[in-house]
Structures are given as structure tokens and as C-alpha cells.
Structure 1
């Protein structure tokens, strides 16, 4: 498998250089570019076509949360992991709503960070399991037993039938980012870490009948 191409968005040089050294020694992660601001992050993604953006939250020109949706709209729709000192259900919920793949605490070890990158690149949602219940509550507005929306069920059925994101966008006449956002909200509601797991859970609960 080719390495996971990552754009690192971090405005502190010492932290960025430490991460760069670590990534250089990991065979399956390739640092495609570094950026120190939101504006530079967008430009770096446009130029390097990464698989994933590792995004610091507090940057000189704004909050990383504000640019997740914009980054996800850029080809090839990279996954986005937010790195923040404030890991809370509120932050995790906003990341999911924006189309991001999860949250990593700034206190995490570099090996944990590398693992989070691999999981997100594989399509998993990455955040502390202890936050899951509250994130579901916030997304659903009705508590952890909330049902999937009709659109979320429809998209999961198509995934269950083997359809790709591109095929679903054509069939439902939706933007790719819209399909991915619906899918990620469904994953969060079901407590799933991948589309395959979400389909399995939804089937067990009879939500795809």
C-alpha cells in the first residue's frame, strides 16, 4: 500500500519539526507539506492532494474548526483530524458536523497520533470512546437511541449493496461532501468506526429493512 500522504497544519515550529522527524521514521506516513495557518492549509491541500490533513485548532488566522468543511471540499476530499487541547463532546460534535474524521488530544503520544492517522485514513471516526454517548445526544437531539434519518438509511443501504461514494452521488444527485457528511453522522449515531461496521449495526437493528 502507498504511504498515507499528510498535510500538517501547525504554527509552532518546534512542534511541527518534532512531528516531521517522527513521520520521517514511519514508513506508511508521508508528510506531503507543512502549513502554519488556515490560508496556507488550503493552499497546501490544493497543491499536494493529501489523503489526510492533521489540523491544529488554534492558528494565527482563526479556528481550525472553521476550515474543516472547506478542506473536505477540495480534491481528493482529504480526511481531517483536528488536534486540540480542548477535547470535549462539543468539539467532537462540531468536527463530525463539519465532515471531519475525529479529534486528537494535544497530550497524545506521537505513536497514538500515528495510529489515529491510520484509522482516519482507513475511514474510521477517531475520538475518545468516553465521548461517544454525548456526541450521539448532541447530533440527534433525542438521546442515544435516536433513529437514523431517511437519507442516512438510504446511504447506508447503498453502501450495503456495495456502492461507492461516487456511485451514490450520481444516483442520489448529491455532492460528494454531502454524502460523506451523512455517512459520518450515521456512524456517530450508531457508535461505529467504519462504514462496514455501521452497515452491520444498522442491519442488526433492522434499520435497513
Structure 2
């Protein structure tokens, strides 16, 4: 792996020669190595650092000031999308490209709303990732096929989006379902009667089109409503 340049946020170069500098945030070693090799073998891209968590990424981005952060969505200490704003604050001018195992227009819209510059799916080929990094570094948006138009529709309000009608209490209930809690535990956490908690859960299932609590959590994660 190329040596890591030591620099302060004020003086760090945006590029190494003519190459676009990249901070890779990925906690799985085999995936990270494959991505690094694919990016480094090009003439215009170079990985200058790798982070294993959101916390590491914040420190590394502030120190290295990469042109692009390639950010895994699911990390040991949090959701990558939720960390976008903090990353951009730590390294002003750095652009963030999210990597995800799966994605929907709702997730893509969530990335854009959070300040990210794109979403590339891991099921795509590495050439798509290379091109995505180039687009993002140039100030453009980069989304895997089928995600961009749907994301634009949601951002411009042309589609309602699954889960957009959830009330604040129903979103809170959904979050507790995501923690693996049942109605009785949810009622205790929310300070409501068991029947009230069951009603909250039922409304969440209805609005997400789910037949079970497990399916509701799966749908919510697919749609970007849960990390």
C-alpha cells in the first residue's frame, strides 16, 4: 500500500502528483484489499489511507484531507451515511462516495440529503467504482444504475417514498424493532401500555407493507430508514 502522507488539515495536498487521493473506509480486509488494488492500479487514482471505523475515518480524513472518501455504509461503530456530514466537517472540500451491499432510490436519496456525492453498490464491477471516484472528484454525482433517477424523484417530491408517513412515535417504535425488541419491551421503553405498543407496531407494519416485525426491519433497512 502506498505510504501515507503526514499532513495537517490546513496544508494537506488534494492530490499526489496528478492522482486523485482516496481514503478507503472499509472494515473487511479482503474487500478492502480488492478495492485498494483496483483503485491503485489506475494512473489517476491512489489510496492514501484506510480506516476501519467511523471514528478512525474522522481522524484520518482530517489528517490526510483526501479528495474522496470511499465510505462503506455499515461499519462497526455506526452507519456510514449518518457520518457523512461529520466527515465533511472534519475535512472541508472532501467528497464522500458511499459503498453499500444493497441500495434503493430511498437510500440513494438519503445519501444525497446527507451531503454525499454518490452511492455505488458492491455487486457492481470495480470499473464502476473507479469511474464513480473520478466523477465525484470532479464535482459530479455518481450512483449505480437505476438509483439516480429514483433518488431525484424522491428528492424533488415526485414520489412519496416508503415510510414517509410514519409518525415520530412510529419511527421511534421502528427503531426499537430494529434493536430486536418486542411489543412488551417497546411498551416499557416508551412508557405506554402493552396494547398501545402493539398498536404502534401494527401501524408500522401496515405503512411498510410488512407481514411481520422481522420483515418490517428488513424493509426499513433496505429503504434506508434504519442503519
> By how many angstroms is 1:109 displaced?
1.3
- Structure 1 residue 96 and structure 2 residue 106: aligned? no
> Runs of at least 4 residues of structure 1 off by over 6 A?
none
CA deviation profile, 1:153-190 (whole Å, cap 9, x unmatched): xxxxxxxxxxxxxxxxxxxxxxxxxxxxxxxxxxxxxx
Deviations 1:1-25 (A, max 9, x none): 7211000000001111122222332
Q: 1:36 aligns with which of 39, 52, 56?
A: 52
Is it true that 1:76 corresponds to 2:79 in the alignment?
no
Instruction: Return the offset for 1:129.
Output: 5.0
Unaligned 5+ runs, structure 1: 144-209
Tell me the TM-score normalized by structure 1: 0.64
Contact persistence 2:38–2:126 (CA under 8 A): yes
1:58-137 equivalent positions in 2, closer than 5 A: 58-137=74-153
Whole-angstrom CA distance in 2 between matches of 1:22 and 1:130: 23
Provide the residue aligned with 1:14 in structure 2. Answer: 30
Q: 1:104-131 deviations in whole A, cap 9, x for unaligned?
A: 0001111211111001111111114533
Q: Say which SS state the counterpart of residue 116 (structure 1) adopts.
A: helix
Q: Which secondary structure does the structure 1 equivalent of 2:42 belong to?
A: coil
Partner-residue secondary structure (3-state), 1:44? helix
Q: Per residue, is there more helix in 1 or in 2?
A: 1
Q: Unaligned regions of 5+ residues in structure 2, if any? A: 1-16, 160-227
Measure how far apart 1:55 and its partner are.
0.3
Larger Rg: 1 or 2?
A: 2
Equivalent residue for 2:42, pick from 26, 30, 37: 26
Whether the aligned pair in 1 keeps the contact of 2:108 and 2:148 (CA below 8 Å) is no
Q: Following the alignment from structure 1 to structure 2, what is the Cα–Cα distance between the partners of residues 14 and 142?
A: 40
Looking at structure 1, the residues matched to 122 and 139 of structure 2 have their Cα atoms a distance apart, in angstroms, of: 22
Give the corresponding residue for 1:141: 157
TM-score by length of 2: 0.59
